[in-house]
Amino acid sequence: MSGMEGSARARFSTLLASAGITVDGSAPHDLRVHDERFFSAVLAGGSLALGESYMDGWWSCERLDAFFARVMAAGLDRTAAGAAGGMRRLLALLFPLGRRSRAFVIGERHYDLGNELFEAMLDRRMIYSCAYWMNAETLDDAQERKLDLVCRKLRLKGGQRVLDIGCGWGGLARFAAERYGVSVVGITVSKEQAALAARQVRDLPVEIRLEDYRDLAGTFDAVVSLGMFEHVGPRHHRPFLEVVRRCLREDGVFLLHTIGTAETTAAPDPWILKYIFPESHVPSLAQIASAADGLFVVEDVHNFGAFYDPTLMAWNANVEARRASLPARYDERFFRMWRYYLLSCAGTFRARRSQLLQIVLSPRGVAGGYVPVR
């Protein structure tokens, strides 16, 4: 080991020690280094180098989720330079370009990775957003509870027309149509999602469209968006809500389900940007409120971010258990990337550095007042 490499190791070791993490230690949350170039690379390259070096096998950790929970809980990303400074917003979904010309990039780069992957990872309804684990033991149950919670918050009744912006594989649309007797229009920017969703709902009053939200038209009794607002971007928060307002009846309600941050930031993370979620940014509650100013009355805010930790852990467990059955195009480096994504996110939610917000909005205020649903 050269003197420079030794110095980098010492600096990195000191940094992690403040979070109770030992380099080459024996605890599940400790980091084990397999290539000494790791230290200088990460100290120079921040989170991009940290993630890429994990993908390349330069380091490993028995419990990545616990490693990141400790890093985030200790605030190393806020207080230190170099590697920890580069970790800041490691798990945020990042600053967007937000242009109409790039509206379908997130669909092509992430959601079109293949339905086989998401079928292996998700619950039986293929819901790719935080589950609601209140009185639930399994992922299937927790996602069903989330869908029912959403429908009750929207106050759905038979015969109503519902708009689902970012409908994914049609799980919510099918649930709402079957359980609540509504008709649904769902839009997505993913060709893979649209094709599978259309097959899933072909026997129901549900229409699935491959469409950008800016092209929406029509009037609906209720509007919902689960896990899509993170891809809109700060510059387009207001225009997005203006589209919702245009499409929503005066006496209707809109439920926005989004990951949120406790502080407003425009700082992109290069690893997430390059490998997981291009064109994305996690909003703060302040940004959402500012965008809604004058357009909507905020009826309810519900934070159940702690439930994203078990959701992500369940997704990772599913992928690990079923990876052998997935196509050969998902190679070892892909699985290391995917594990890093899911478990690092779990750690950040466990440290409560990221939140999950469900916000109910109405155009003029619900007559007589809105009764929160939990």
What angle do the packed helices 332-350 and 308-322 form, to 10 degrees? 160
**CA 299 to each of CA 55, 147, 182, 296: distance values in angstroms, whole numbers, following the listed order:** 44, 19, 23, 9
Beta-carbon contacts of 149 under 8 Å, excluding residues fewer than 6 positions away, are 132, 358, 373, 374
Burial 276-291 (b: 16+ CB within 10 A, else e): bbbbbbbbbbebbeeb
345 catalytically annotated: yes
H or E element at residue 142: helix 139-153
CB distance 294 to 242 below 8 Å: no
Which of 61, 151, 167, 345 is an active site residue?
A: 345
Q: Which residue's entry shows tokens 């945020």?
A: 92
Pick from 214, 177, 176, 173: which is nearest to 196 by CA? 173
368: which 2 tokens?
Answer: 């007589």
- Output the six-digit token pair for 82: 């170099």
Residue 337 near residue 330 (C-beta atoms within 8 A): no
- CB 283 within 8 Å of CB 234: yes
Task: Please name which of 264, 177, 258 lies closest in space to residue 222, comparing C-alpha atoms.
Answer: 177
Which residues are designated catalytic? 345
